Structures are given as structure tokens and as C-alpha cells.
Structure 1
């Protein structure tokens, strides 16, 4: 069986399309493609993460653009691989998160699955998070269950650290329920800072951060944010960690250079993730990195320093490309929905029980 996973994360760095094959219980990446978001659409989606004017109409128009981009990429991928729409059992579409407020009882991912089904001729499964929120959960992260499927080991304790716009941990220990939670900012603040000062989409390999020095007082002020003291289940987003949050903290430290701010932001990501892991999986032997942050050499090295005795590797070392992990996960979530398989993990999200996630839009 072939599925397509569509993932557009909080980094807003592109729309990931993964063609995944299920054969004999194994999930294998067949092909993948990243569609760049037009600058105007990216900016509109960023602005929609905060309250603004005429939001309903703007959301409706933005999600139409998002869906046309996704459909064009999917149709092109099928053409390139000489596949028909009928060869694909379903598309699992995460959509694009514009608001995530589980404490207020809602999370909102736009992506018009009805239109995506029309434009591709393929059944679409979407809206994965809201059922978990309805059951009292955070609705995030959802990928730990997929990590469990791929990487759980009968004798070894492992953790998966996904570093996208935000970072989240999956904790896999033998004979224990899978746990996980959001750790805090991943790339979101580093990306925003380098975009502001160098007009670059991201800090390639963490080179700019590595050229600066960590400002310890600023770092401690950042780590004093109450989110970091909370225990999981917990999740976060741009509603909390954004440039306004950073600017408020920087107002007390006008002497800090832009380069040192970037170094401090990388240290914030590294320390918040390392502390979260050490506090929750004390016998961890291996940490696997996935998401765009897996390519940040400076972050990878710093995590290794903060986690002595734990082997820190890219998920590629175990055969799964870190760039496509989440898109693959939403292909799997589509399969679970169609098969009636619960795909949340209450120990991760805090939901009151296992739930089948997603809504189905037939071709």
C-alpha cells in the first residue's frame, strides 16, 4: 500500500511531501519532495499566527493557496514516478498550524482537505490533532507513536529529538509506555533572528551561532520562562516563543551583540532539550536527531557535550532520513485512521485515553 504524507511545520520553510510504502508491516520512504512556500504566503501564515484584522477571510484565502501548492506538488510527484491517483490509498495531511491553544481547548490547522481531495483525486485524512484535544490532551506531539513503531528497542532506552520550529522529545524505554512532550523552541527563534539581521532563511549548520559567545545572564532569563519548569504532557508554539518574547528579554541587555544573541538562542535550544531528557529518561543510551535541526552541526555538537554517556546520532544512522520523518508520520497516521487504529499516546499528550485521530475526505 502507498500513502502520501504532507507536512508543513512551524518553521514554514517548505511543504514536505513523502511517498511511503507499507509492506509486511514495514514503512519505507519511496520518494519525497519539498515545495517552497512563496514569500507572500509564508508571510501571511506567520501573521495569521497572531490576532489581526479580517482573519477569517485571510485564513480562507491562505489555505486555498496552501492546498493548490500541495496538490501541484503531489500531482507532479505522481507524474514523475508514473503513478496514478488510484495507486495511492490516502493522503495524510497535517495542514498548517495557525493557532495552538490546548489550554483554551483548541488547536487549528488550516489546509482545506476537501479541496485537496478534489484537486488530487485521492482520499485525504486530515485534522489529526483536534480529537486528542477534545479528549483533554495537548494535541501534540503526535509523532512519538510513529517513533515507537520505528525505533522502540526491547533492551535499549532511546530518545528521539525532533528539532523543527519547535523541539519535541519521544522517550522509548523497554517495557514502558511511550512518553514525550515539547521541549521549547527548536529553530524558530534562531531562524527569526537571522532572517531579521541577515535576510537568510536559517543559520546553515549553526555557523553564525558558533561564531558568537553565549550571554549567560540572557540565557538564564530565557530559561526562567515558566514553560521550561512545567512537566509533560506539554506543548507550545509561536503563541509564546516569538520575536516579541525575545525582544522583551533583550530590552534588559542592550549591550549583547546580534551574533551573541544567536549563540545564546542555540544554547537555549540545546540546554532546554538536554535538561528535559536528563530529567525524564535517566538511563537513556542513545539520542536520535531528526527534523531540520539534525543538520545544525553546532547544535549536534553542543548536545553531545551536554549529554555525556549518551550517543547522539542523526536518525539516518538507523535508516530514516531526518528530513522526512514527520511527513512519513502523517502518512502512517492516515493509515491508522482508515484502519480504526488509535494513534495518540495518552502519556504523551495527556488525553483521557486512546483515540482514533483524523477526519476522512473520500476521493
Structure 2
């Protein structure tokens, strides 16, 4: 479907379990791509869904299939409510990431729940989803997928960094877009602050009261993942198997864990950014609201850190998954081999039409 304007609903659920992000976006193409976010909303998960999604990696394949169906129906209800409440009449497609249940690209496996065909029939709209599976089948990491949007929608910046469940970065090196996961962020911070009864550490105020434990910091910084070259990506399984046991073995206070881990994120992120001096860096994602974390990244970085509007901070991933869907409709490449390590660039995703 080749045309110059598309009205798209982008839908994203990330590993930090903040909720389901929805954004109605108008994309225009006139030699370059531009966009406008018309309306956006985050639907938070209730306690039941939070617990289900938090423990996805523990389920059998059969249990995951049941949850996939249940989550797809939940997603259909959330999207339908968004359409009805905002009286949205003109929709070219709904582009949904789903929610990652398993991500082991080294084993040829990635599984996002919420991408079943019933999503299209329940909402009565064209759905574009399941963006990762095809890339993994082509030998890629299936992640990150946002860099094509960074390249075509945010080309003014040398680096685009997202601080979500994981930190990831994309940039141009020798004329090629490359991207990779840097380290876990909110998936770790939120786990430990939840032990104190909080969903997140507001502005990093709790972390600020703690002390850095150098033994733990050194152990984290020595992890093999940080010495590997891109393309590379992280999943919850890696955090559960590798990172949490290291942190838990230190028997530290929650405040000291948070403070040490903030420093770890800042060190890993700035070490990536400092490979270019005086570069412009766009930082988005929920981690931006952790002002203490941001201050540590700025302190250790040699670059010009720029924070966009609150709307882009919160909805950039929903925006870009909407854009991936637009490229898929046009059968244009939305997945870059230079980013994921796949055999070739390709147009990824599945289209469910009525």
C-alpha cells in the first residue's frame, strides 16, 4: 500500500512492565519521513497481569500458548477502548509489538505473546505484528528493531539511546546503522525497589541515599556480555541467570544495590557514547525520569545529552513500531542486517487483514 500519508496506531509493551503504550500517529513522506503523535496513552497492568508477565520464562510451552491467547484478547480490549474513547475513525493499520515471553536468538528462538490472528478480528482492523521472528529465522538477533526509525525519523542525532527495561543504542558507523543492547536498566532497578513497596525509584531518590559497593560494581562491569561485539541483545533469561545471582550474593541493602547499579548503568552507557566526542545524544525511555541516573550518565559522558518532549520520551517505541508497520505495508526494509546480524536486510512482520 504505497501512499504518502498513513494513520497508524503503534502499540508497545516493554520488559519494564510499565504498561501498554498506545499512540495514534500520522506519518507523511515527502522526500523524507515526518510524523505527528496525535494522541497517546499508557494503560498500566493490574497486579494479576504484572505477575503473569513477570514470570513468563517459567512457563511451559503449553502454558505460554494459553497465556498468548489470553493476552491477545486483553490487548484487543485495550486497543478497542483506545479507539472508541478517542473516537478514532481513520486507521490504516494497528502495529503491535506484543510482549516478549522468550528471547534466545542464539537458539533460534524469540516469542512475543499477543500476536495471534484473533487480534485483527476482535478489533476489526488490519494488524501488523510479530516483527522479530522473521529476523531470528534469518540468523539475526531479532533485536533491536527501533534503529530503522532512529535512522529515518531521528537522523539529526549521532546517537539514539533508550533507557527502558534494557538500555540500547543506535548510531551510524562507516555509513552503516548499528545498534545493540547496552545493559539492563529498569528491569533490575524496579525489581529491587519493589522489595521496599515501590513500583519504581522516583527520580532515583532512594538510589541517591545508598553507597557504591565497589566489589559488586567490579563484578558487574566484568561480565562477558560487555566485552562482546555487536550485534548483541539481552533478555530476561540472561538477567535471571547471570545478573541477579551476582547482585543477590552480596547481601547489600536495597539502597546500596540501587546506588551501585545506577553507577553500573552510567559506566556502561557512557563507555559506549564516549567513542565519539561532542556527539549529540537523544535519550528516551522511562529511565529518563530517573534524574539521578541521568545526572550520572551526563557526568561520565563527553557528549551533548538531549532530552526530547515528554511525549517522545514515553512513546518513542510505540511510534517506531508504528513506523515499522508502515514500512511493512510498503514492503520496504524495516529490519537492518547491520543491526541484527541477519543474513540480509528485509521487511519483517506479519499482516493480518480482514
After TM superposition, the score normalised by the length of structure 1 is 0.90
Matched, 1:351 2:342: yes
Aligned position for 1:188: 187
Q: Cα distance 1:224–1:244, how it changes in 2: closer, same or farther (>3 A)?
A: closer
* 8 A Cα contact 1:164 1:186, kept in partner: yes
Structure 1, residues 237-256: CA drift from partner, whole Å, max 9, x if none? 111113873234442x33x3
What's the CA shift for 1:298?
A: 0.6
Structure 2 CA distance for aligned equivalents of residues 268 and 142 of structure 1: 25
Moved more, 41-50 or 125-134: 41-50
Aligned position for 2:282: 288
Say which of 19, 24, 32 aligns to 1:19: 24
What SS does the aligned partner of 2:98 have?
strand
- Alignment gaps of 5+ in structure 1: none
Structure 2 CA distance for aligned equivalents of residues 223 and 99 of structure 1: 25
For this pair of structures, how many residues does the alignment match? 346
Aligned position for 1:98: 101
Structure 2 CA distance for aligned equivalents of residues 63 and 207 of structure 1: 37
Say which of 212, 231, 234 aligns to 2:232: 234
What SS does the aligned partner of 1:242 have?
helix
What's the CA shift for 1:342?
A: 0.6
Structure 2 CA distance for aligned equivalents of residues 358 and 124 of structure 1: 10
After TM superposition, the score normalised by the length of structure 2 is 0.93
* 8 A Cα contact 2:102 2:112, kept in partner: yes
What's the CA shift for 1:65?
A: 3.3
What's the CA shift for 1:179?
A: 1.3
Say which of 203, 206, 218 aligns to 1:205: 203
* 8 A Cα contact 1:286 1:312, kept in partner: yes
Structure 1 CA distance for aligned equivalents of residues 278 and 93 of structure 2: 36
Say which of 117, 122, 129 aligns to 1:119: 122
Aligned position for 1:220: 218
Aligned position for 2:3: none
Structure 1, residues 164-213: CA drift from partner, whole Å, max 9, x if none? 1011001146x721111000112111000011x21211111111111111
* 8 A Cα contact 1:167 1:184, kept in partner: yes
What SS does the aligned partner of 2:169 have?
strand
Structure 1 CA distance for aligned equivalents of residues 45 and 247 of structure 2: 30
* 8 A Cα contact 2:216 2:260, kept in partner: yes
What SS does the aligned partner of 1:88 have?
coil
What's the CA shift for 1:352?
A: 1.6
What's the CA shift for 1:138?
A: 0.6
Q: Cα distance 1:64–1:75, how it changes in 2: closer, same or farther (>3 A)?
A: same
What SS does the aligned partner of 1:335 have?
helix
* 8 A Cα contact 1:102 1:133, kept in partner: yes
Structure 1 CA distance for aligned equivalents of residues 344 and 262 of structure 2: 36
Structure 1, residues 132-156: CA drift from partner, whole Å, max 9, x if none? 1112111100001101112213xxx
What SS does the aligned partner of 2:314 have?
coil
* 8 A Cα contact 1:113 1:124, kept in partner: no
What's the CA shift for 1:284?
A: 5.0
- Alignment gaps of 5+ in structure 2: 1-5
1:126-165 aligned within 5 A: 126-153=129-156, 158-165=158-165
Structure 2 CA distance for aligned equivalents of residues 204 and 115 of structure 1: 38
* 8 A Cα contact 1:189 1:243, kept in partner: no
Aligned position for 1:35: 43
Structure 2 CA distance for aligned equivalents of residues 64 and 222 of structure 1: 37
* 8 A Cα contact 2:163 2:185, kept in partner: yes
Structure 1 CA distance for aligned equivalents of residues 57 and 229 of structure 2: 25
Structure 2 CA distance for aligned equivalents of residues 112 and 22 of structure 1: 23
Aligned position for 1:75: 80
Structure 2 CA distance for aligned equivalents of residues 35 and 65 of structure 1: 17
Structure 2 CA distance for aligned equivalents of residues 181 and 112 of structure 1: 24
* 8 A Cα contact 1:159 1:284, kept in partner: no
Q: Cα distance 1:97–1:37, how it changes in 2: closer, same or farther (>3 A)?
A: same
* 8 A Cα contact 1:188 1:242, kept in partner: no
* 8 A Cα contact 2:102 2:110, kept in partner: yes
Aligned position for 1:176: 175
